Amino acid sequence: MMLSIRQQPFRTAVLVLVWGWLLFLVLAPNLLVVGASVMTRDPSTFIALPLNLDAYRQLFNPLYLNVFLQSLWMATLTTAICLLIGYPFAWALSKVQKRRQMLLIFLLIIPFWTNSLVRVYALKLILATNGLLNSALLWLGWISEPLQMLYTEGAVIIGLVYLLLPFMILPLYAVFDDLRQDVLLASHDLGAGRLATFRNVIIPLTLPGVLAGVMLVLLPAMGLFFVPDILGGSRSLLVGNVIKNQFLDARNWPFGAAASIVLTLAMALLMFAHRLSKQRLGEESS
Tell me whether residue 166 is in a domain: yes
Count the domains in the chain: 1
Residue 145 is given by DSSP the state S
Q: How far apart are CA 155 and CA 148, in angstroms?
A: 10
Residue 76 belongs to domain spanning: 63-285
Rounded to whole angstroms, the Cα distance separating 234 from 274 reads 34
**pLDDT value of position 284:** 61
- Mean of the per-residue pLDDT values of the chain: 89
pLDDT in tens, 37-67: 999 998 888 999 999 999 999 999 999 999 9
Short-list 178, 156, 169, CA closest to 217: 169
Does 197 fall in a domain? yes
Other CB atoms closer than 10 Å to residue 272's CB: what's the count? 10
The overall longest dimension of the chain from CA atoms, in Å, is 80
Task: Determine the average pLDDT of the residues in 166-180.
Answer: 92
Residues 88-144: pLDDT tens digits?
999 999 989 888 888 999 999 998 888 999 999 999 999 999 999 999 999 999 999
48 in a domain, yes or no? Answer: no
217, part of any domain = yes
Find out whether 169 and 90 touch, Cβ atoms under 8 Å: yes
List 47's β-bridge partners, or say none: 41
CA atoms within 13 A on the CB side of 35: 10
Considering the domain boundaries, does residue 76 fall inside one? yes
Cα 232 from Cα 117, distance rounded (Å): 14
CA–CA separation, 198 vs 233, rounded Å? Answer: 42
42 within a domain of the structure (yes/no): no
In a domain, 67, yes or no: yes
CATH number, domain containing residue 239: 1.10.3720.10
Give me the pLDDT at residue 286, please.
57
User: Domain for residue 14, yes or no?
Assistant: no
Q: Letter for the amino acid at 17?
A: L
DSSP helix/strand/coil, 42: strand
